[in-house]
Structure 1
Amino acid sequence: MTKPILELKDVKTTVKTADGEIVPILKGIDLKIKAGDFITIIGTNGAGKSTLLNTIAGSLRPDSGFLLHNGLDITKMSEEKRTQFIGRVFQDPKLGTAPRMTVAENLLLATKRGKRRFLRIRKLKQNLPRFKKLAAVMNNGLENRLNTFVEGLSGGQRQALSFLMATIERPDILLLDEHTAALDPHTSENLLAVTDQQIKENKLTALMITHHMEDALKYGNRLLVLKDGKVKADINEREKQNLKVGDLYKYFED
């Protein structure tokens, strides 16, 4: 039997509030993720959605339980080392990019994420044709702005760049933390369509948080409902096809 690409075993995570209070957020998460899964995640505020992604990424360490990547225990592995196999796009377009570097320079930097770095010639010019081809798939003119400083991009182009940077090395696991929430509806729709296309074409394994029930049903082959720090439902692709938005709201009723 093939091992899951990522597995969480009874993971419990607490966070410290501004006044020093320790609050339990994840309260025993058991989850097996297969290679190629595209999982959408919904839940009310405080359900543990971002905490789940932070725990997987390594920016939060669980208080108990285990995380396994291809069967190997990564529970205590640093966030930096996990970038070797995890890519992430945040909600804020300003996160994950270097504003005073050009689009091409940011993409070049992303090719070295999680790898040992040495003093060597950058080879930026040699990579420009590749970067232009990559940027063109984002369908927003980013390929024409490779020499533009990132701080001069629109929010949509900046988030498209963040997506490219997170996926350029085809990570084992892609974490999308409401990556379209800060964009206008048209730009958000375009980025979601490209996201779906790239995940399918590159056979990526992805977890995507969304507040839009329609998107949770439209995208991915699995849907997780989080409630009060636990997995309330894990819905497969066939079951998703028979659901409507109204059905999802029932999971949040007391």
Structure 2
Amino acid sequence: MTNPILELKAVTTYVNRHTPDEQKILRGINLKVMPGDFITVLGANGAGKSTLFNTIGGNLAVDEGTIEVNGQPITHLSEEKRTRFLSRVFQDPKLGTAPRMTVAENLLLAEKRGEHRGLVFRGLKKQMDRFRELTGTMKNELSQRLNTPAGELSGGQRQALSFLMATIKRPEILLLDEHTAALDPKTSQELLEATNTRIHEDKLTCLMITHHLEDALKYGNRLIVLDKGQIIIDVSGEEKQRLTLEDLYEYFEI
């Protein structure tokens, strides 16, 4: 029997704990993520989606419960140490890239992610053909801008670069935190299609937050809905395929 690659056991988080303003955000979350899962994550504002990602990524401490990766506890592991097996792409295209470094330099830097190395770019020229091929999968002329500083890219190109940087080392766990929300509809769909292709071709394990119900239904093999810090829907396979927009509207207001 296959074991979970990621498991949350009764994970609870608070804000303003031990004060009159104490508030529980995640309420005893239990979640098993299996290798190769592509999970779309839905929920109204304040449901706990970003908090869930922050606890998995190590940005936010877990107050109660445990988190395991491949059966090993990581609950108290630092955000930096989690980069050895986890990558994340944020909503803001400005996050995740070094603006003064070129596209190629950013990609080379991403290959050193999680390693204890100095920022010395060795053999960059030898990597250019591979980086040109990699960026060519984005269909947004990024491959023609390998020598352009990331800060001079369009929002869509910069977010595509962030995605490539997050996946270049094939992380065990990929978190996509509304990574297309800041893009125009056409660019958003192009990046989603490229995302879907790369996840399947590289057999990545991914959780993707989205506000678009259509995208949650279209992509991934599994869907979860958060409400008030709890998972109220967790469907996969044929059950997910049978879901409709009307089914989802019944669970929360959009």
Same fold? TM cut 0.5? yes
Count of residues in correspondence between the two structures? 252
Please give the secondary structure, in 2, of the residue aligned with 1:252. Answer: coil
Q: 1:134 to 1:20 in 2, by over 3 A?
A: farther
**2:183 is matched by which residue type in structure 1?**
L
Please give the secondary structure, in 2, of the residue aligned with 1:12. Answer: strand
**1:90 is matched by which residue type in structure 2?**
F
Residue in structure 2 matched with residue 195 of structure 1 by the alignment = 195
Structure 1 residue runs without a partner (length 5+): none
CA RMSD of aligned residues (A): 1.6
Does 2:254 match 1:226?
Answer: no
Does 2:22 match 1:6?
Answer: no
Cα distance in 1 for residues equivalent to 2:192 and 2:22: 35
Q: 1:184 to 1:90 in 2, by over 3 A?
A: same
Residue in structure 2 matched with residue 137 of structure 1 by the alignment = 137
Written as runs of structure 1 = structure 2, the 5 A alignment for 1:154-173 is: 154-173=154-173
Cα distance in 1 for residues equivalent to 2:126 and 2:72: 37
Cα distance in 2 for residues equivalent to 1:117 and 1:223: 38
TM-score w.r.t. the length of structure 1 is 0.96
Residue in structure 2 matched with residue 106 of structure 1 by the alignment = 106
Written as runs of structure 1 = structure 2, the 5 A alignment for 1:1-254 is: 1-16=1-16, 21-118=21-118, 122-252=122-252
Cα distance in 2 for residues equivalent to 1:246 and 1:190: 26
Per-residue CA distance 1:215-252 (angstroms, 9 max, x = gap): 00000000001000000010112111111111101112
Deviation at 1:118, TM superposition (A): 4.6
Equivalent pair of 2:13/2:63 in contact (CA under 8 Å): yes
Mean Cα displacement is larger for which, 110-119 or 83-92? 110-119
Q: 1:119 to 1:52 in 2, by over 3 A?
A: closer
Per-residue CA distance 1:204-225 (angstroms, 9 max, x = gap): 0000000000000000000001
**1:193 is matched by which residue type in structure 2?**
E
Structure 2 residue runs without a partner (length 5+): none
Cα distance in 2 for residues equivalent to 1:140 and 1:10: 42
Deviation at 1:125, TM superposition (A): 0.9
Please give the secondary structure, in 1, of the residue aligned with 2:211. Answer: coil
Moved >6 Å (runs of 4+): none
**2:236 is matched by which residue type in structure 1?**
N
**2:45 is matched by which residue type in structure 1?**
N
Mean Cα displacement is larger for which, 121-130 or 104-113? 121-130
Cα distance in 2 for residues equivalent to 1:90 and 1:239: 29
Deviation at 1:22, TM superposition (A): 3.5
Deviation at 1:126, TM superposition (A): 1.1
Per-residue CA distance 1:51-74 (angstroms, 9 max, x = gap): 001100000111010000000000
Q: 1:120 to 1:47 in 2, by over 3 A?
A: closer
Matched-pair identity in %: 64
Q: 1:203 to 1:21 in 2, by over 3 A?
A: same
Please give the secondary structure, in 1, of the residue aligned with 2:59. Answer: coil
TM-score w.r.t. the length of structure 2 is 0.96
Cα distance in 2 for residues equivalent to 1:28 and 1:2: 24
Cα distance in 2 for residues equivalent to 1:86 and 1:44: 25
**1:133 is matched by which residue type in structure 2?**
E
Deviation at 1:120, TM superposition (A): 5.6
